[in-house]
Structure 1
Amino acid sequence: MLAIIAAFAVSTPIRADSWSPPSTQIFVSADQKSRVTITPRDLDSSLEYFRDKVKDKAKPGLPKNAQNRQASAVVEVISDAGEWKFGWKVDLINEISPVSAILSDDGRHLVTFDNWHVVGYGPSTIVQYNREEGFIRQFDLGYFLPPYYLEALPTSVSSRSWKHGEGTIEDNILHFDIIVPAKGFRPGKKKPETVGFQIDLNSGHVSKEDTRAWIDALFSALEVQKSQLEYETQRITQLIQPLTAKAQMSERDWHGYLREAYWRLIDANGSSATKHLRPLDHKEYQKSVQWINDEFAEMAENANEEDWLLSDVSIASSNQENLVKMLSDIANRAKSNDFRWGRVLIVMEERHWPQLEKAFAHTGIILHFVDPKVPVAPSLDRLKRIFNPDPQKYDGFLDGL
């Protein structure tokens, strides 16, 4: 078990995130006398980008008539007359575009950070360019941070929160602050503790600005990882045991139960929205009603599409009679085949199933039910998905579970 934990331990709980389409950005030096305009590589759409990523295409999401086939940066310096004059231009190594950049006052050094849709991961997390040579060097965070530190940093679906602020360039030295992992820290809630790093832009030498602060940061990261390993021990234990609903379930409990039930019963590789219908006396009961209605409305919007992706949603409530009534009302308002692209998992005692099956029969929806009183057995596909290093080539080591 400890070996499995070490190999597959997750970092902090994953948060959702969203990205706007990449756009042209301008970053100005600290003294306002130099600026850089960063133009992203052309992108057909975010959807096409991810489709092409799955197909491992060399230029994912690149339109056929693309004019900007590579991200670029143009550096300008202000003249004595107050006009911006061209300084130099360089093609950037980012797949689409960096997230942010910093420029030295003299316009000679340019450093970019991260990548569109991926923050804190990959070899181009920090990239250095200069006027004379163009691209100089790039850094993955693993170059100067140990693995346990990286695993302790807060993460979202696509990114890792690793840096606070944009940093400065002084005397050809880049200074920036790295977030110190701490239990319970969530980006945006409060200012994080940080530890200072610096990179000599001439030599590429990376150093810690305060040794004592760096040691404290390492200890803090170790404390976070200890907590993560304890959590992971509990998580793995639960994965190999039957899934059960507790006598008293909080809203958070229901969301966790819905996700796991969906992966075990429907699609170990899929993704489902989870919706909990709150108690009638809850002050935000109507919000939960609206969220569920919105899911079905979205299915109906795509009912006439000839080729569409299934829309998965998993629903539960502690008040099953009220949930039955609400879902029956939704079904009764629906037209024939309105929900043909919908697949719904409903947590409901078996005695209610026939009523809902009858109500939704004309809608074309795919219904799955799970009785909260009946334990859901572990799913081999689910376990393979989590523990097998190569899901395309099953090695059989879970057959004994």
Structure 2
Amino acid sequence: MRIDPRRISSPLAYFSDKVKGREPAGAPAEHEGKRAKAMVEHRDGTGKWSLAWSGELTNEVAPVEVLIADGGTYLVTFDNWHSVGYGLDVVAIYDGQGQLIRALALGDILSADYIEALPHSTSSIAWRGDPRLTSHGELVIPIRVPGKQDDAQNAIYVEARVRLLDGVVLSGSSPQWQEAEASAQSVAREKRARAEKARQAFIAPLLGPEENTERSWHLYLREAFYRSSSDWMRDSTSTTVLRDPSADNYAASEGWLRDALLSVDYTHGTMSFASVAPFDFFVSRVDAILAEARPGELKGSHVYIAAPSSALPLLQDMFARSGATVAVFDPDVPIPQRPERLKRYLPNH
């Protein structure tokens, strides 16, 4: 058995054409066919090869994995190049003459909640382990169980079974499957709740984080920038958070603070700062670092600091010698969402 992927000029050309709606996406100027092809040959007792069948597969570019039954009675393909878990043919079953018996989408095997609960990346769904064919005409696919170990190396699986003769899905009634479905439904509910919480936070006026944690301050700084900066569509900001000085890993965060303010290896641009440590301590460390800077070191830079509005004159005095422009994000002052961002966000959420 041999699989010949459809030729593309490059992955970049393929995805560019997809965005522009050009088909066949990424095809060279001179190309043949619109899909991947397969060829199956048999070898007889004398060692002579003969063609059993050849033809196009359902896969637009190439399948990710292929199994062939003993004697070539069935050929089964899995997923599509660069889009695992998506499409109408995450599983496609062919007979011994290359005729398609059935193509299955993930929704033909799993419930909508189960699919939602599975780990998703930008382009793929991590839905299965290594499939196998049985001697009595079935396809067995290990299906990842959501909520039972998040990392792929330690993932737990439940078996889906498909009859090769007609592509009928046989699994779904066993206690193990019902347990996996219950776990998936629980994970899906939690994901929807988190998504709704994020939606409401995006719409609502922004205040400082409820928890004084490093991650919370990073998220606050980024969102405050996009809501406050006049150049929010073209610019972005780095975010630096000073840890509590009693923390074992405090020294690294002061190193990041120093790098952001003094490094000469890159253009400083727009920078945002916050502190898990008490504000007075943060001010003292920034003041000490800026004392080492050359006059005009940060000229042209825009600095945002999570701080009370009343602290702005002090911060401006501290940065005056550096040449930076300073503003504050006051965590106690709500920052409304931009109408332009709402118009883009709400139709998709």
Q: What TM-score, normalized by structure 1, do the two folds share?
A: 0.64
Are 1:113 and 2:78 an aligned pair? yes
Cα 1:257/1:147, change in 2 over 3 Å: same
Per the alignment, residue 22 of structure 2 pairs with: 57
Are 1:178 and 2:137 an aligned pair? no
Shift of 1:130: 2.8
Give the aligned residue type for 1:378.
Q
**Greater CA deviation, 317-326 or 163-172?**
317-326
Shift of 1:143: 1.7
Cα 1:353/1:102, change in 2 over 3 Å: farther
Per the alignment, residue 305 of structure 1 pairs with: none
CA contact (8 A) 1:275 1:288 kept: no
CA contact (8 A) 2:242 2:274 kept: yes
Deviation sequence 1:94-127 (CA, Å, 0-9, x none): 2222222222122231211111221112212111
Shift of 1:358: 10
Of 316, 329, 336, the residue aligned with 1:371 is: 329
Distance 1:271 1:114 in 2: 38
Are 1:190 and 2:192 an aligned pair? no
Q: After the TM superposition, which residues 71-220 of structure 1 pair with which residues of structure 2 at under 5 Å, given as runs?
A: 71-77=36-42, 87-182=52-147, 185-192=149-156, 194-208=157-171, 211-220=174-183
Give the aligned residue type for 1:220.
S
Of 341, 346, 349, the residue aligned with 1:387 is: 346
Give the aligned residue type for 2:155.
K
CA contact (8 A) 1:316 1:346 kept: yes
Deviation sequence 1:342-375 (CA, Å, 0-9, x none): xx995566666899899799xxxxx997625343
- SS of 2:72's equivalent? coil
Shift of 1:73: 2.5
Of 197, 201, 219, the residue aligned with 1:234 is: 197
Deviation sequence 1:181-225 (CA, Å, 0-9, x none): 226x42325132x22211111112111175222221222122212
Q: Quote the sequence identity (%).
A: 28
Deviation sequence 1:152-205 (CA, Å, 0-9, x none): 11211222111122333433211112122226x42325132x222111111121
Q: After the TM superposition, which residues 256-335 of structure 1 pair with which residues of structure 2 at under 5 Å, given as runs?
A: 256-261=219-224, 264=227, 276=240, 279=243, 282=250, 284-285=252-253, 316-318=273-275
**Greater CA deviation, 314-323 or 215-224?**
314-323
CA contact (8 A) 1:275 1:292 kept: no
Give the aligned residue type for 2:151.
P
Shift of 1:128: 1.7
Distance 1:322 1:84 in 2: 77
Provide the aligned C-alpha RMSD in A: 4.6
Distance 2:63 2:224 in 1: 38
Greater radius of gyration (CA): 2
- SS of 2:131's equivalent? strand
**Greater CA deviation, 115-124 or 44-53?**
44-53
Cα 1:139/1:264, change in 2 over 3 Å: farther
Distance 1:356 1:69 in 2: 61
CA contact (8 A) 2:4 2:36 kept: yes
Shift of 1:139: 0.9
Distance 1:75 1:51 in 2: 33
Distance 2:32 2:323 in 1: 49
- Structure number with greater CO (CA < 8 Å, separation at least 6) is 1
CA contact (8 A) 1:268 1:385 kept: no
CA contact (8 A) 2:316 2:326 kept: no
Deviation sequence 1:28-80 (CA, Å, 0-9, x none): xxxxxxxx333322222333222222111112222224467532233345665
Cα 1:239/1:288, change in 2 over 3 Å: same
Shift of 1:132: 0.9
- SS of 2:62's equivalent? coil
Distance 2:251 2:43 in 1: 57
Distance 2:326 2:51 in 1: 62
Gaps (5+ residues) in structure 2? 276-281
Distance 2:283 2:297 in 1: 20
Distance 2:26 2:304 in 1: 36
Distance 1:289 1:76 in 2: 65
Distance 1:269 1:109 in 2: 53
**Greater CA deviation, 255-264 or 146-155?**
255-264
Distance 2:45 2:174 in 1: 43
Distance 2:115 2:234 in 1: 27
Distance 1:283 1:240 in 2: 36
- SS of 1:217's equivalent? helix
Give the aligned residue type for 2:29.
K
Distance 2:251 2:46 in 1: 62
Distance 1:167 1:275 in 2: 48
Cα 1:360/1:169, change in 2 over 3 Å: farther
